[in-house]
Amino acid sequence: MMTLPLEIEVIRQLRELALDLRLAWDHSTDDIWRRLDGEMWELTRNAWLVLHSASQSKLWELAAEADFRRRVGEVVVARREFVRSAGWFQRAHPDSPLTCAAYFSMEFALGEALPIYSGGLGNVSGDLLKAASDLGIPVVGIGLLYQQGYFRQSIDADGNQEELYPFNAPDQIPISPVRDSQGQLVRVEFSLPGYKLWVRAWEAQVGRTKLYLLDTNDPANPPFFRGIAGELYGGGPELRLMQELILGVGGWRLIRRLGLNPEVCHLNEGHAAFAVLERAACFMEDTGQPFEVALAATRAGNIFTTHTPVAAGFDCFEPALIGRFMQLFVSRRLPGMTMDQVLGLGRKDPANPREPFNMAYLAVRGSGAINAVSRLHGAVSRAMFRDLFPRWPLADMPVGHVTNGVHTPTWDSIHADRLWTEACGPLRWTGTLEGLADKIRAIPDDRLWALRTNSRAELMTAVRTRYERQVAAAGEPAHAIEQAGNVFDPNTLTIGFARRFASYKRPNLLLHDPDRLVRILVNPRFPVQLVIAGKAHPADQAGKAMVRQWAQFVKRPEVHGHAVFLADYDLLLAEELVQGVDLWLNTPRRPWEACGTSGMKVLVNGGLNLSERDGWWAEAYAPDVGWSLGDGREHGDDPDWDRTEADALYRLLESEVIPKFYDRDDRGIPTAWIAMMRESMARLTPQFSSNRAVREYTEAYYLPAATSWRARTSNRAAVAAEIVKWREHLARHWDAIHFGDIGVESSSESHAVSVQVYLDDIDPSAISVELYADSFNDGPLVRITMTRGAELIGAVNGFVYTARVPADRPVSDYTARIVPAGGNATVPLEASNILWQR
């Protein structure tokens, strides 16, 4: 075997390192890329681009250095050992039924080197893959490779947002083409009306996990089709539908081409819901089973996570458009199914031909479990999906929740990483997080204050650099550029607000009384500085107006040095802000923030939160860890309530937040502020980390789904076939079942309730008779299964059911009901029949 020259081997090792996106949060290789091209590294954080832009002479010069070769060799060995090593999952679940979970998302935010994300959804997806890598959970991501991604933002001299669309050249981002065992490029084929569409596949390495990306920019495609995956969330309904077909159908086909056989298909939002149909089609192809059996078998392994807080946010398409692009799919891939039957899966009323096709409804009907992304969002989602389960109480809606978390190693500063490592060890985010809180609580005040002081000072440097560059790019005069390079004071309370500029997020609530805000900022004794960032959707004129309002406010002469609006909010800017600010501000209209993860990112860095009690903050808030807005109720878009909350926000800043920051002991330390900071770090950082969230997904959703999928798909889906027969039997006879007489015998201690039930031809084991009562005095709702007695004399399949309930509430609170039971089905998700006693 021929030995490669040392220099060539080093370059191959550099390629291996540069293609692993783990370096976005594991900074062990930063020094290597700085030596290759320090300026390019700081600007892009794209090691693959640094490697390709470096001159050959520079590469060979460094590769010839023994110390450089040794350094590269060390990190390559460490990387390979990490990838091969067992993680939390292998140790905690050595005999797991889960070998692979395919995670579908429209966007993934893994780092600035791979700009295929827009905002919160991408952050959640990217952080999940990162945490899965840390923990060794067998997850693969499925997404789209956008030629332009989401737009980049610039602000002109008048404060107007301008959109720019730089091209994502595949050879300049850290991805590799997917090839089969013969070395041939993997392409997925689609049949569309009049055309064949080719979709290429790319692979991104994310530590122990992989992300596969689908790309339509294949030279074999017609020009229009080459641009299908051109822009994230761009174009009209037709382009959006085609993107979602490629993501869902093409994504599942790619999984098959790669030889993967995931037990779990995790749909992050309804965008990828077409994977439900393709997965069922593949099962039909493999087993010869009809669609209903295939869906009953495969849905057990499908999980749907909804992030949408309002029903209008779900993607809906006109039936004619769905028919145009899916008729061939239905006729070729779903034999025995009609287009109307498929359309019915995406409708509230399957028989209504005029109702649009709702992707979220398809995801609900094709999944074995559904979850929202915070506790409050769970309640909101149960209300949104109640029309799919008529006559069922909200509490019985089959929607749970897993509150999002953030990948703390991505978002912590160098100073925070050092502090946490000293207190909790280098492997703190790779296990169960037990004991971290107590160790953080033991850190002395001066160390915590040093964290904030050093992190704030670094933010000041970053703000000045960015703002100076931004002012120069807008064509401002030389003196304005010089002033921009000297803004902010590293000893001043610094507040951050950065997110998508949409009306429901109320990014301009703080501007409700601009003169009062000016007085807060320029107070000579207790000054405040404010960093604002965020993008408005190109079609959102109201959002653009709010961007312009902030851009013009920060230009007021009296505000100079106290407030800046930084353009082009991206992952790099987000990192700088969450690492450096003292206080993170969030002001959405409750309950329209499904979760909101931006405020979670400051936790590991010792930042505090002041937020509307919405999303994650509704369950995280306590007076000893931050501040809250609102009264915990919903007020819609009432302008009077906006005024009330704006005034409350100003008062909180003036009377509580700012005085606490500047109330110092004789060492110059704000001890009361530090106490809140310490408790926030200790209690909230582990709880709202993606480590906790992904372990929760694994144990509450992935493992049960994998077990259920294996049971339903074994023996040619015998269990699934029985479920289908059971459902069909219930459907034929449900309308004939009815209640008879009700009897009650009450004492001072209990009520004995009896009810006659006539079941027609339904087997008694296929139903459950229950006493139901709504919650009382904030207690739990009551569901008591009644006991079946002997068959009624003279009746066919009629029985008396009995139960005894405590007399602490009137018997009139209780109502008898009949619901499906048995059949190995999930009720009401797979059988929504219900009959109430009248």
Least confident of 100-104, 401-405, 622-626, 637-641: 637-641
Q: Note the helical H segments in 397-512.
A: 408-411, 414-424, 436-441, 445-473, 478-484
Centre a 10 Å sphere on the Cβ of residue 436 and count the other Cβ atoms it contains: 22
> DSSP assignment, residue 300?
G
Least confident of 147-151, 506-510, 675-679: 147-151
pLDDT reading at 647 higher than 90: yes
Domains of the chain: 6-84 (no CATH), 93-153+163-319+358-395+698-714 (3.40.50.2000), 408-688 (3.40.50.2000), 737-836 (2.60.40.10)
Centroid of chain to Cα 553: 33
pLDDT reading at 129 higher than 50: yes
pLDDT at site 105? 98
pLDDT reading at 26 higher than 70: yes
pLDDT at site 778? 73
Question: Binning pLDDT at 50, 70 and 90, where does residue 474 land?
Answer: confident
pLDDT at site 379? 96
Cis peptide before 828 (omega within 30 of 0): yes
pLDDT reading at 4 higher than 80: no
Q: What is the mean pLDDT of the segment spanning 763-767?
A: 94
Provide CB contacts within 8 A for 753, sequence distance 6+.
742, 743, 744, 771, 786, 802, 803, 804, 805, 811, 814, 816
Report residue 17 as tokens: 């390192």
Report residue 795 as tokens: 């009746």
pLDDT reading at 2 higher than 90: no
Q: What is the mean pLDDT of the segment spanning 311-331?
A: 94
Provide CB contacts within 8 A for 479, sequence distance 6+.
none
pLDDT at site 136? 98
pLDDT reading at 609 higher than 70: yes
Report residue 492 as tokens: 């001043």
pLDDT at site 775? 84
Q: For the chain, what is the largest distance between any 2 Cα atoms, rounded to a whole number of angstroms? A: 99
| Percent of the residues in the chain that have a pLDDT greater than 70, as a whole number | 99
Q: What is the mean pLDDT of the chain?
A: 94
pLDDT at site 400? 97
Under 8 Å between Cβ of 229 and 246: yes
pLDDT at site 374? 98
pLDDT in tens, 722-746: 999 999 999 999 999 999 999 999 9
pLDDT reading at 181 higher than 90: no
Question: Binning pLDDT at 50, 70 and 90, where does residue 779 land?
Answer: confident
pLDDT at site 473? 87
pLDDT reading at 188 higher than 60: yes
Provide CB contacts within 8 A for 292, sequence distance 6+.
724
Report residue 382 as tokens: 């149960």
Residue 531: CA atoms inside 13 Å, Cβ hemisphere, count? Answer: 32
pLDDT reading at 1 higher than 50: no
Question: Binning pLDDT at 50, 70 and 90, where does residue 794 land?
Answer: confident
pLDDT at site 224? 84
pLDDT in tens, 379-398: 999 999 999 999 999 999 99
Element (H, E) at 90: helix 88-92
CA proximity to 333, closest of 302, 291, 270: 291
Sign of CA dihedral 284, 288, 291, 295: negative
pLDDT reading at 607 higher than 50: yes
Centroid of chain to Cα 474: 35
- The structure tokens 């905002």 sit at 119
Question: What radius of gyration do the chain's Cα atoms show?
Answer: 29
DSSP string, 730-745: HHHHGGG-EEEEEEEE
Give the integer Cα–Cα distance in Å for 575 and 602: 9
User: What amino acid is encoded at 662 in this protein?
Assistant: Y
Q: Where are the beta strands (DSSP E) in 16-121?
A: 101-104
pLDDT at site 110? 96
Report residue 449 as tokens: 């204050």
pLDDT at site 551? 94
